[in-house]
Chain A
Amino acid sequence: MIKQFFKMLPIETAKIFTIIMTVHITISLVLGVEVISVNRNLQLLAISVLGGALMLTAFSDIFVKKISFIWRLVIFIVPFFIITMIFAIVFSWIDFDFYRWLIFIGIFLVCFSLSLIIYFVECKIKGKKYTEKLIEYQNNKE
């Protein structure tokens, strides 16, 4: 179980790191930030590792079995949101300004929603392709 967890962890970490870096670079470009520090990159990597671990815990069958998708979402999003907030406070990602925090939470929720939408659309497209192949196989066998 633990072996499988650590085998899959780098893949999930890489997925989250890609999303976080894309968002971070986009926001940096919009705000006119030209340099991203090594420290900030390491912080984002650390949060990606924790996010990857949470993804595996919530969405794979390694630890949690036979629960609904909604509960899996809750298991992932609540701790990940708390971890992100802790990182933001500890590493001073944002100034103590209410509106900046509101924007930060908004970006977090938008990114999360977008990731979910992309995931569902991808599943739907692949599912259609898979089912077509299945029907083709069944017709050939008849």
Chain B
Amino acid sequence: MLVNVIENPQCKETKITIECKQSDEHIAQIANTLKGMDNAPDKLFCSYKGEWYLIDPKNVYYFESVERKCFCYCEKEVYETEMRLYEIEDKFAKYDYIRVSKACVVNISRIKSIRPDFGGKIIATMQNGEKIFVSRQYASSFKMKLGIGGVK
């Protein structure tokens, strides 16, 4: 598939045209995805098994960066996103995301319980039972966010 981006200062509205021999399900999916992206700027554009999805940030449990790739963990599925962790933190600042380690950003509203762990760490148990470690470095800011205390 050939993708062309043409910049035109005279253009008043961004227009995407799909030129194909014959429209099929795949083309319809691309069109729907593009429409969906335009209608939902607050959604996350993620891929799963070669297909693209728009994910509601509220449904994300946590994001993890592994070997320069960023993964988005929902209740059961794991999607891959092109965004970096700092971009996610910036773009979705209004959602309850918080950095809990160098490689992980967690959705506070999806945490079921928390407890302290050895060495100043905190273990957060997610609503789906997964356990996420809040590193010592980020434990203070995490506790402060929840009003538990912590060093300023």
Which residues from chain A sit less than 8 Å from chain B, CB to CB?
8, 56, 59-61, 123-124, 126-127, 129-131, 133-134, 136-138, 141
Contact = CB atoms under 8 A, between A and B. Distances in A.
Contacts of B119: 8, 56, 59-61
Nearest to B122: A130
B114 A137 contact: no
Given A138-B109, A141-B96, A141-B109, A133 B115 contact: no
B148 A130 contact: yes
Best-surrounded residue of B109, B115, B145 (most CB of chain A within 10 A): B115
B147 interface: yes
A133 B148 contact: yes
Given A136-B147, A137-B147, A130 B108 contact: no
Interface residues of B, number: 18
Interface of B: 96, 108-109, 111, 113-119, 121-122, 143, 145-148
A130 B115 contact: yes
A123 B115 contact: yes
Contact of B147 (A59, A123, A127, A133): A133
5 contacts: A60-B119, A127-B113, A127-B116, A130-B122, A130-B148
A111 to B, nearest CB: 18
B114 A131 contact: yes
Contact of B108 (A59, A127, A134): A134
